Homo-oligomer: A and B are copies of this chain.
Amino acid sequence: MKLYFDFFSQPSRALYIFLKINKIPFEPCPVALQKGEHLTKEFKEKLTRFGKVPFIHDGDFKLAESVAIVRYAARKHDLDSKWYPKELRQQARVDEYLEWQHNNTRTFCALYFQKKWLVPMLTGEQPSPDRLKNLEKNLVQGLNEIENVWLANSPYLAGDQISVADIFGACEIEQPRIAGFDAAEGRPVLSAWLEKVRKETGPVYEEAHVSLNKLVQKTKEQASKAK
Contact = CB atoms under 8 A, between A and B. Distances in A.
Q: How many copies of this chain sit in the oligomeric assembly?
A: 2
A125 to B, nearest CB: 16
Interface stretch (A22-30, A57-65, A197-205): A57-65
Interface of A: 49-50, 61, 63-69, 71-72, 75-76, 88-89, 91-93, 95-96, 98-100, 102-103, 106-107, 149, 152
B96 A49 contact: no
A96 B63 contact: yes
B67 A95 contact: yes
B100 A64 contact: yes
Contact of A68 (B63, B92, B103, B106): B92
Given A49-B149, A50-B149, A68 B96 contact: yes
25 contacts: A49-B149, A50-B100, A50-B149, A61-B89, A61-B92, A63-B92, A64-B96, A65-B96, A65-B99, A66-B99, A67-B99, A68-B92, A68-B95, A68-B96, A69-B92, A71-B92, A72-B89, A72-B92, A75-B91, A76-B88, A99-B102, A102-B102, A103-B103, A103-B106, A103-B107
